[in-house]
Amino acid sequence: MKISGNAIRPGMVIEHKGRLWAAVKTQHTQPGKGGAYLQVELRELRDGTKLNERFRSSEDVERVRLDQRDYQYLYREDDILTFMDTESFEQVTINASLVGEAIAFLQDGMMVTIESHEGDPVGVMLPDNTVCTVAETEGVIKGQTAAASFKPAVLDNGVRVSVPPHIAIGDRIVVNTAERTYVERAKDE
């Protein structure tokens, strides 16, 4: 679907220079001379390279719609991840590089969304939050208040996060997978 160059918004996927790009940031600019344009920071979906491009309103770009399906993560073998469609039980293998840095949060049985373009997987989206166990952290320092004070911690998957002082080794916490930040203590049933 063709859209005007100034209609690009963050999160949109476009086809540009024969490749698929996701818009990361956009900024409208109106210089003193010449016409206005949209400065767009693009990230290539397959290899993650970045590109800054200018689009004028007179230019048309091809907006791409990605197919999204939910899959269950099964296992990892070297750099190949195996997922299963929970409706058809069909298995799909994907290169680990499509998951990016969020791969540290991938857990057995986790439900993920796989984005594909014309049947070819281009990305894997993990849930926004996941539960992890604190493997290492400092003890509570007497007199330290909870207001705006955090201490470093290492999770069971090796990821480093900052946690409030009351969190101890062995505690299960909820972590934001995109920002790698502490959300809350896990509410285990």
Q: What are the tokens at 67? A: 């197919």
- The residues pairing with 53 across neighbouring beta strands, listed in sequence order, are 40
For β-strands 111-117 and 67-77, DSSP reports them as: antiparallel
For 78-114, the pLDDT digits (tens) are 889 999 998 999 999 988 877 878 888 999 999 999 9
For 53-82, the pLDDT digits (tens) are 998 888 888 888 888 899 999 999 988 999
**What architecture is the 67-125 domain classified under in CATH?**
Beta Barrel (2.40)
Distance CA 24, CA 11 (A): 6
| Coil, helix or strand at residue 124 | strand
Buried b (16+ CB within 10 A) or exposed e, 74-93: beeeeeebebeeeeeeeeee
Q: Does domain 129-185 have CATH number 2.40.50.140?
A: yes
For 121-139, the pLDDT digits (tens) are 888 888 989 999 999 988 7
Q: What is the pTM of this model?
A: 0.73
**What architecture is the 2-63 domain classified under in CATH?**
Roll (2.30)
